[in-house]
Amino acid sequence: MLYAGIAPKLDWLLAIPGLLIIMVAAFPMSIILGIFCTRFRDMQPIVASIVQLAFFLTPILWKPTALGARAYIAHFNPLYMFMELVRGPIYGNIPNESMYLGAAGVTLVLYVIAIPLFIRFRSRIAFWI
């Protein structure tokens, strides 16, 4: 930042709530993936392949404007929502409330899946290891 002459901005502080939302959403996702990968040994390479595919389908290396008139499709990608909550303030694009609501909705769905799954299988996890 010193070399490029970039001065810190107050807008960058809006990335902190985005990071907190990602941390809150990562917990149920780790429970879901942990249970499935522990129960089914073949899930680990499948999850690795899905993560790699999701990396290329999420606008990380490319911009959503590259889709032209279909740029709205990127907004339905849950990973894009979470990424934009952190990247947007740093690039100067303040995320609107639909991004926060979308990320909160995805997080809620993850908890709705993870809690009953963990309650049902917590006594068996030790045997699967």
For residue 22, the SS3 value is helix
Do the Cβ atoms of 38 and 125 come closer than 8 Å? Answer: yes
The percent of residues in the chain predicted with pLDDT above 90, rounded, is 43
Residues 6+ apart with CB under 8 A from 121: 35, 39
What confidence tens digit (pLDDT) does each residue in 63-107 have?
Answer: 888 888 888 888 788 898 999 999 889 888 888 898 899 999 999
Whether this model's pTM surpasses 0.75 = yes
Domain ranges, ordered by start, for the chain: 10-128
User: Cα–Cα distances in Å, from 117 out to 21, 71, 82?
Assistant: 22, 35, 24
Would you list the DSSP string of 65-113?
GGGGGGGGGGGG-HHHHHHHHHHHHHHT-PPPHHHHHHHHHHHHHHHHH
What is the model's pLDDT at position 118? 94
